Amino acid sequence: NAGVTQTPKFQVLKTGQSMTLQCAQDMNHNSMYWYRQDPGMGLRLIYYSASEGTTDKGEVPNGYNVSRLNKREFSLRLESAAPSQTSVYFCASSDGGTGNNEQFFGPGTRLTVL
């Protein structure tokens, strides 16, 4: 099992460009999440999908959109990148429901916006 995979690993964008970060999980998890991590700020939730067909805003959704393509895949789109979106982006998944709900993370995408 690959667990949670993310592409690309690295990306450099110019201000105003758009891109989509891809995430897939093979653990048959119901819930998926997108976080950003900045120095001193910890992990902040951007968007999440509790189950296939649903998406909701997290703590810092502005400037982002998401698509839960199917149970396995959850993508994050930056429509018009800004330097403030320079960060490391992590996708995670969990079983969802009322269990212990530990989350498992992908390797991350390092994004620089110039």
Binding positions for another protein, rule: CB under 8 A: 31, 33, 35, 40-43, 45, 48, 50, 58, 90, 94, 96-98, 100-108
Q: How far is CA 51 from CA 28, 42, 92, 93, in A?
A: 11, 25, 13, 10
Instruction: Give the H or E element holding residue 92.
Output: strand 87-94
Shortest spacing between CB 48 and another protein, in angstroms: 6
Nearer to another protein, 62 or 102 (CB): 102
Shortest spacing between CB 46 and another protein, in angstroms: 12
Shortest spacing between CB 17 and another protein, in angstroms: 24
